[in-house]
Amino acid sequence: MTDQSTQPTGTTAPPAPTRGAAAHAISDGWVVAQRNLIKIKRVPEVLVFVLISPIMFVLLFAYVFGAAIDVPGDVDYTEFLIGGIFAQTVVFGATFTGAGLAEDMQKGIIDRFRSLPMSRAAVLVGRTTSDVVYNVLSLIIMALTGLLVGWRVREGVVDMFAGFLLLLLFAYAISWVMALVGLLVPSVEVINNASFIVIMPLTFVSNAFVPQESFDGVLRTIVDWNPVSTLTQACRELFGNVGPGLGEQSAWPMQNPVIYTLGWIALILVVFVPLSVRQYGRATSK
């Protein structure tokens, strides 16, 4: 440590930016993501609760509704259920992104970030990236719990990883939606309620817990075109958890769940990444 470094003479002036906007967003985003990950290490209690709720969902649905819900085809309800639980959990997990940002706003650290010559997208890139870690962990925990209660993967390993990848991509896209919400709401308490209002109908008016055949009319149409349904359907197909009776779907999304879900992921990112970055630029601490 030299003495000059304490002199405010600009001897350690920050290097001029040489990178492109995307590279800048990624490298700064990684710094922010590391900061978020340190929090997991320092406050492991948060992680415990994040991981307990999916276990609870698997057990509740498998044992409480398992006997009551009929699944067409030759498939056990537990196997049918797991794909839906995966989808529901990663969608709910996006609330975390919004809550994290709302907290940063409340505590004023967003002001610090916004006064730095860092990438405008970095705080959001960092937050959504570190939340992928939560989703990976909760998927692992859920998969293990699923295996314990009788879920089996009946297709190849490649298909299985494709299924998990699709879940993570969808979760990442929804994270950007919740990032926008997190920047708009006045406090962390509001975000939890706000996301509940959006996410509950989205996951329950889907085939996550009951087969789409049990819906009629308009509701059936909504279920068939709901991306949470197609995500669930895609997982069931990739994990080999569909019986022959489930294969014949009338609606196009249900017949092409992977492509349809990827389309949604792209659409959500194209719309919500710029919207969230723009809102971040306007955000001030509350």
Partner 1 sequence: MTDMIQARGLVKRYKEVEALSGLDLTVPEGKVLGLLGPNGAGKTTAVRCLATLLVPDEGSATIAGVDVLKDPQGVRRKIGLSGQYAAVDEHLTGFENLTMVGRLYGFDKATARARARTLLERFDLSDAGDRPSKTYSGGMRRRLDLAGALVAEPPVLILDEPTTGLDVRSRQQMWDVIKELVGGGSTLLLTTQYLEEADRLADDIVVIDHGRAIARGTADELKAQTGGERVEVVLRDVARMDDVLRAFSSVAIGDVQVDDRTATAAVSGGASALRSVLTDLESEGIEVLDIGLRRPTLDDVFLSLTGRATETDAAGQSDSPATEVSS
**Residue of 55, 122, 124, 141 that binds partner 1 (CB under 8 A):** 122
Q: Quickly list DSSP for 212-251.
A: GGG--HHHHHHHHH-HHHHHHHHHHHHHT---GGGS--SS
Q: To the nearest whole angstrom, how small is the minimum distance from the Cβ of residue 239 to partner 1? A: 37
Please, which residue, 30 or 225, has the CB nearer to partner 1?
30
Residue 44 lies near partner 1 (rule: CB under 8 A):
no
Q: To the nearest whole angstrom, how small is the minimum distance from the Cβ of residue 39 to partner 1? A: 4
Residue 285 lies near partner 1 (rule: CB under 8 A):
yes
Contact 181, 278 (CB under 8 A): no
Residue 42 lies near partner 1 (rule: CB under 8 A):
yes
Q: To the nearest whole angstrom, how small is the minimum distance from the Cβ of residue 167 to partner 1? A: 28
Please, which residue, 36 or 233, has the CB nearer to partner 1?
36
Contact 83, 241 (CB under 8 A): yes
Residue 133 lies near partner 1 (rule: CB under 8 A):
no
Q: How many CB atoms lie within 10 A of CB 115?
A: 8
Please, which residue, 7 or 221, has the CB nearer to partner 1?
7
Please, which residue, 12 or 221, has the CB nearer to partner 1?
12
**Residue of 53, 113, 251, 269 that binds partner 1 (CB under 8 A):** 113
**Residue of 23, 31, 148, 219 that binds partner 1 (CB under 8 A):** 31
Number of residues that bind partner 1 (CB under 8 A): 37
CA 17 to chain centre: 32
Cβ neighbors of 221 (< 8 A, separation 6 or more) are 251
Q: To the nearest whole angstrom, how small is the minimum distance from the Cβ of residue 44 to partner 1? A: 11
Of 161, 186, 180, 200, nearest to 275 (Cα)?
A: 180
Residue 187 lies near partner 1 (rule: CB under 8 A):
no
Contact 207, 249 (CB under 8 A): no
Residue 220 lies near partner 1 (rule: CB under 8 A):
no
Q: To the nearest whole angstrom, how small is the minimum distance from the Cβ of residue 86 to partner 1? A: 29
Residue 47 lies near partner 1 (rule: CB under 8 A):
no
End-to-end CA distance of the chain: 39
Residue 12 lies near partner 1 (rule: CB under 8 A):
yes
Helix 77-93, helix 227-239: angle, nearest 10: 130
What gap in Å lies between CA 133 and CA 128, rounded to an integer?
9
Tokens (6 digits) for 214: 């049990």
**Residue of 22, 23, 60, 116 that binds partner 1 (CB under 8 A):** 116
What gap in Å lies between CA 144 and CA 198, rounded to an integer?
28
Q: To the nearest whole angstrom, how small is the minimum distance from the Cβ of residue 211 to partner 1? A: 44
Contact residues for partner 1, defined by CB under 8 A:
1, 5-15, 17, 28, 31-32, 34-35, 38-39, 42-43, 107-109, 111-118, 122, 284-286
